[in-house]
A and B are shown apart, each in its own frame.
Chain A
């Protein structure tokens, strides 16, 4: 079939099963947008390219499918960058199509030209620039293959405008060799046997679950493993939705704002089974002191993660989809009763806690109450900052792809557009967004997108009138110098929402919350609740940056 390049892009997208893309048009993208017109592919027009990238990310995380975003050249493409980098850090499958200036204008500082290939090389799993139109169909389908196979990640395809206007054969096509790309699938069974042996001997084993379990869709197998072994479990932030939080031996999130029990468990276990984690510094604290008494078994799909941060005693290099069922089948745990008791005691003596106030709402209280009314299969989305940590601590997620948050990059402004993507991917699920009064402003233009699409996202602005996490660090480490961390303008978020067509409420007192929760829950359109909370609350417990995990402030 001979098509012009724009139509060829649309045809390949359809063949890859894409029905929705997120984007923003502009000069050199117009031929492609003409091909999209009445193509049957749903194009979501965000109000900023960054919104398109995060929405594609939210769509991908919620559905497990590849998210697709699209922009014009130059500023359009550079506006995608934060979203691509966010997806890269959290291994989110994404294809970003950026349109580029016409081939003969390349490299001449032409209008709206930016070196997208160069800019995206360090922040993507892979990237292509299409120079020969004959290769366009193959490059685009390889982009999908690379994005979703192995350890997923974003792939950028930069396409000069003239390619959209060239006639291209799309069936009998030349292929680019991909000799160097061999995603890991199956591992070595002997490696699993070694861990099984170590597990049988371990007196104090601990399972540490990360985002890899979510990405590999192995939550069900994980549940079987837990049912069979009763192993104690802790998770990273992105691993939170991988297991049912009602599991009796679940001790919460580990790391800087992890629970006392999780951090003590990692410091005192004798075998750490780390699955789909990458030992981020927010998890490990001081690596010199991290899990020092412990044998570590690392299950991961990415060879470069093994030994990157800490040396491990056992490694199982494979897709968890391959290794976890095999491990589960053979796993036998020795007598760990004493250890289970120790963990239960810690958990009882050191629960997460905060002090309530009479009239002022505490942020944790808001999150607990919201969590209480959510449906079991609800998707929780967060932005970045204090509210994110409180959501990780106090919001019980119950579904494997039910907690979306920018973990690795920590991108403020991620939440609202990601919630839009998640709601589009899962129209029948409740989507609840927690966002700070700082983060909402970083992409508040997307309220208009949500309104236009009538997406029933429930938005809770945890409003502490400033940049809470920044203030917390300034309080703790910079003698309370609140340098550039307070908002004085008194911005009315409910009015902003209203102006963009989103229903809204402001809750300043405790008594107003229940009513707002009901309204948000019942709303069939986007609903924003601006909740004023205590300005000075700290996220606790806390391991100071660079300190060891067992040195917590509670």
Chain B
């Protein structure tokens, strides 16, 4: 069962190592992880998708993360009304015969072609994880050369910041 945890942490060297290490050490799998700067200088937000067996394991991850000195706030995003996005860059085989089909699919998914080579295209697709999965699946039959994904990021719909909720 995949769940999303969003952690606000102090932007110190090594904090990502602490967070990722803790989850791995306690025996849970990280499906994706995205870390970046926030609206406040010195703070980093880490969005983690973890694979857990039940709610209790998820609570344990939250509690253990909260215990880290540099972790300010941890939220189980599954319990919060939110929107999520992930971006993928997909390099796909695109000879003359498939180019039109691919371009059509790119339009349907509101993806973008961001680089063109005589034999391949680099496509950018953004959306929730389901849409990105679906797009990658559609591209599979043309021959995917490489996929890079950012990992999902999350933000609440509430007018307040997560930490102020």
- B69 and A180 within 8 A (CB): yes
Q: Is B18 an interface residue (CB 8 A)?
A: yes
Contact of A180 among B17, B22, B25, B70 (CB under 8 A): B70
Given that A177-B42, A307-B59 are known contacts, is A302 also in contact with B67, CB under 8 Å in the complex? yes
Interface size class of B (residues with CB under 8 A): 20 to 34
**Chain B contacts with A in 88-113, Cβ cutoff 8 A:** none
Please give the distance in Å from B164's CB to the nearest CB on chain A: 14
Please give the distance in Å from A431's CB to the nearest CB on chain B: 33
A18 to B101 CA separation, bound complex (whole angstroms):
74
Interface size class of A (residues with CB under 8 A): 20 to 34
**Chain A contacts with B in 291-312, Cβ cutoff 8 A:** 302-304, 306-308, 311
- B69 and A118 within 8 A (CB): no
Residue of A nearest to B43 (CB): A179
Please give the distance in Å from B6's CB to the nearest CB on chain A: 14
- B60 and A308 within 8 A (CB): yes
- B25 and A122 within 8 A (CB): yes
Q: Is B56 an interface residue (CB 8 A)?
A: yes
Please give the distance in Å from A547's CB to the nearest CB on chain B: 23
Given that A303-B63, A303-B66, A304-B64 are known contacts, is A179 also in contact with B72, CB under 8 Å in the complex? yes
- B63 and A304 within 8 A (CB): yes
Q: What 9 pairs across the A-B complex have the smallest Cβ distances? A: A304-B63, A180-B72, A126-B69, A181-B69, A180-B71, A179-B72, A304-B64, A304-B67, A303-B63
Q: Is B14 an interface residue (CB 8 A)?
A: yes
Q: Is B10 an interface residue (CB 8 A)?
A: yes
Please give the distance in Å from B31's CB to the nearest CB on chain A: 22
- A303 and B72 within 8 A (CB): no
Residue of A nearest to B60 (CB): A308
**Chain B contacts with A in 120-137, Cβ cutoff 8 A:** none
Given that A303-B63, A304-B60, A311-B56 are known contacts, is A121 also in contact with B69, CB under 8 Å in the complex? no
Could you list which residues of chain A lie within 8 angstroms of chain B, going by C-beta atoms?
Answer: 117-118, 121-122, 125-126, 129, 131, 146, 177-181, 302-304, 306-308, 311
Residue of B nearest to A155 (CB): B69
Q: Is B21 an interface residue (CB 8 A)?
A: yes
A180 to B43 CA separation, bound complex (whole angstroms):
11
Q: Report A-chain residues with C-beta under 8 Å of the C-beta of B25.
A: 122
Q: Report B-chain residues with C-beta under 8 Å of the C-beta of A181.
A: 69
A125 to B14 CA separation, bound complex (whole angstroms):
15
Q: Is B138 an interface residue (CB 8 A)?
A: no
Q: Report B-chain residues with C-beta under 8 Å of the C-beta of A122.
A: 21-22, 25
Given that A118-B17, A303-B66 are known contacts, is A180 also in contact with B60, CB under 8 Å in the complex? no
Could you list which residues of chain B lie within 8 angstroms of chain A, going by C-beta atoms?
Answer: 9-10, 13-14, 17-18, 21-22, 25, 42, 56, 59-60, 63-64, 66-73
Please give the distance in Å from A29's CB to the nearest CB on chain B: 23
- B64 and A179 within 8 A (CB): no
Please give the distance in Å from B21's CB to the nearest CB on chain A: 6
Given that A121-B21, A303-B67 are known contacts, is A180 also in contact with B56, CB under 8 Å in the complex? no
A87 to B42 CA separation, bound complex (whole angstroms):
31
Q: Report A-chain residues with C-beta under 8 Å of the C-beta of B69.
A: 125-126, 146, 178, 180-181
Please give the distance in Å from B70's CB to the nearest CB on chain A: 5
Residue of A nearest to B9 (CB): A180
- B10 and A177 within 8 A (CB): yes
Please give the distance in Å from B154's CB to the nearest CB on chain A: 20
Please give the distance in Å from B65's CB to the nearest CB on chain A: 9
Please give the distance in Å from B43's CB to the nearest CB on chain A: 8
Please give the distance in Å from A117's CB to the nearest CB on chain B: 6
- B72 and A121 within 8 A (CB): no
Residue of B nearest to A304 (CB): B63
Please give the distance in Å from A511's CB to the nearest CB on chain B: 53
Please give the distance in Å from A96's CB to the nearest CB on chain B: 16
- A121 and B66 within 8 A (CB): no
Q: Report A-chain residues with C-beta under 8 Å of the C-beta of B14.
A: 117, 121, 129
Q: List 22 A-B contacts (CB under 8 A).
A: A117-B14, A118-B17, A121-B18, A121-B21, A122-B21, A122-B25, A125-B69, A126-B68, A126-B69, A129-B13, A146-B69, A179-B72, A180-B9, A180-B70, A180-B71, A180-B72, A180-B73, A302-B67, A304-B63, A307-B60, A308-B60, A311-B56
Q: Report A-chain residues with C-beta under 8 Å of the C-beta of B21.
A: 121-122
A468 to B72 CA separation, bound complex (whole angstroms):
47
- A180 and B10 within 8 A (CB): yes
Q: Report B-chain residues with C-beta under 8 Å of the C-beta of A311.
A: 56
Residue of B nearest to A309 (CB): B60
Q: Report A-chain residues with C-beta under 8 Å of the C-beta of B60.
A: 304, 307-308
- B71 and A121 within 8 A (CB): no
- A304 and B17 within 8 A (CB): no
Residue of B nearest to A127 (CB): B14
A122 to B17 CA separation, bound complex (whole angstroms):
10
Q: Report B-chain residues with C-beta under 8 Å of the C-beta of A180.
A: 9-10, 68-73
Residue of A nearest to B72 (CB): A180
A178 to B71 CA separation, bound complex (whole angstroms):
9
A121 to B18 CA separation, bound complex (whole angstroms):
7
A118 to B21 CA separation, bound complex (whole angstroms):
10
Q: Report A-chain residues with C-beta under 8 Å of the C-beta of B67.
A: 302-304
A311 to B59 CA separation, bound complex (whole angstroms):
12
- A307 and B56 within 8 A (CB): yes
Residue of B nearest to A308 (CB): B60
Please give the distance in Å from A311's CB to the nearest CB on chain B: 7
